[in-house]
Structure 1
Amino acid sequence: MPNKASAHYDFRPVTRADLPMIRAWLAQPHVAEWWDDPEDEIAAIEEHIDSISVEPLVIELDGKPIGYLQSYDPHMEDDHPYQDQPFGTLGIDMSIGVPDLVGKGHGSAIIRQFVADLFEEGVPRVIIDPDPANKRAIRAYEKAGFVAFDTRTSIYGPALMMAIDADGEEF
């Protein structure tokens, strides 16, 4: 488990030079189980580099890349299945790419820090949509303060809809 007093994560924009590293992470069994085909995902991430609706980020710990995170605005994408969320809501997706760091508390710590940054920027709600079978991710998101509010099936597959609001209100 990361030392909460000293663990600080940095989030930097993905560059094209990062794509081979992210491709390797997507091929790791603990990531591949929950993401689509690595080549399809890399193509989408590369498109997101210049996107205004999706922000692809590399997560760093002590200056070393350890994972991938993206935030997105469902209201900026035509026909996004989560447009029923309040205006200003951002969605996030995350994976720790380095296998040795999985199961050590980094996931919930990364999410807590990133969500706190979003709330400071004025984002009212953050959503995340793990596969209902992804118990490890769900536990990490619950530890970060997310609460389940719906189960859906969308173009992205089955999703347990989870949210956290800046004002601390339950939904």
Structure 2
Amino acid sequence: MKGPSNYSFRRATPSDLSMIRRWLYLPEVTRWWGDPVEQIEIITEDIELAEIATLIVSYRNRPFAFVQHYDAHQWPQAHFDPLPESTRCLDAFIGVADMMGCGHGRMFLRLLVDMLIERGAPLIAIDPDPTNEGAIRCYEAIGFVGHREYETSEGPCLLMTFDPKRQG
């Protein structure tokens, strides 16, 4: 999948796991994603599942980010229960330090959101840690709206949604 501004998305494969593992060890990624060993085990399990799209994001052919999207009701989590059928949920991180804080997250996530809406998703959800102010500002800049905080087995999260009907 190729988007404007030289961003592209491709399905992650097992050969990407060593790169993803390196990214997970960056302090800023570990801060929000937790134990890299645990996370790479989860991603390794998920990478070949049809139910979850695990993607590598590149800018000008340079891989720099990981994003996954999945049906909100595929992996039951109480804070996703009220969301409409076919809502897509996102998890993402930038794994290259010199590409953090430059607007790349805002750009590639908005492209992905637009693609998912075009494919029929009625709503897009993301659930950052409520103290991850940088991520929350990024998501708000794209058009996500914060709703309420939840306590989950993974810790606290802020449920945010992107509703295409609320966009200009």
SS in 2 for 1:123: coil
Which runs of 5 or more residues in structure 2 are unaligned?
Answer: none
Partner of 1:156: 154
Question: 3-state DSSP class of the match of 1:158?
Answer: strand
The answer on 1:80 being equivalent to 2:77 is yes
Contact 1:153 1:159 in 2 (8 A): yes
Structure 2 match to 1:3: none
Give the distance between the partners of 1:51 and 1:17, measured in 2 at CA: 15
3-state SS of paired residue (1:55): strand
Residue 98 (structure 1) aligned with residue 129 (structure 2): no
Taking structure 1 as the reference length, what is the TM-score of the superposition?
0.91
Could you tell me how far apart the structure 1 residues matched to 2:72 and 2:118 are? 20
1:33 aligns with 2:31: yes
Percent of aligned pairs with the same amino acid: 39
**How far apart are 1:80 and its partner, in Å?**
2.5
Candidates 50, 54, 57, aligned match of 1:56: 54
1:117 matched to which residue of 2?
115
Whole-Å Cα distance in 1 between the matches of residues 101 and 5 of structure 2? 15
Instruction: Give the aligned partner of residue 136 of structure 1.
Output: 134
Letter in 1 for 2:112: F
- RMSD across aligned C-alpha pairs, in angstroms? 1.3
* Deviation of 1:48 (Å): 1.0
Asked if structure 2 preserves the Cα contact closer than 8 Å seen for 1:56 and 1:69, the reply is yes
Runs of 4+ in 1 over 6 A off after TM superposition: none
In the superposition, the TM-score normalised over structure 2's length comes to: 0.92
Look up the SS of the partner of 1:95 in the other structure: strand
Asked whether the 8 Å contact 1:88–1:124 carries over to 2, the reply is yes
**Paired residue secondary structure (1:68):** strand
The equivalent position to 1:108 in structure 2, one of 106, 109, 114, is 106
Match for residue 8 of structure 2? Answer: 10
Indicate whether 1:42 and 2:40 are aligned.
Answer: yes
Structure 1 Cα separation of the partners of residues 41 and 84 of structure 2:
29
Q: Tell whether the 8 Å contact from 1:54 to 1:71 is kept in structure 2 after alignment.
A: yes
- Offset of residue 162 of structure 1: 0.5
What's the CA shift string for 1:42-80, capped at 9, x where partnerless?
Answer: 111111122233211101111110010010112122x32
How far apart are the structure 1 equivalents of 2:86 and 2:118? Answer: 13
Q: CA deviation at 1:141?
A: 0.5
Gaps of 5+ in 1: 1-5
Aligned to 2:63: 65
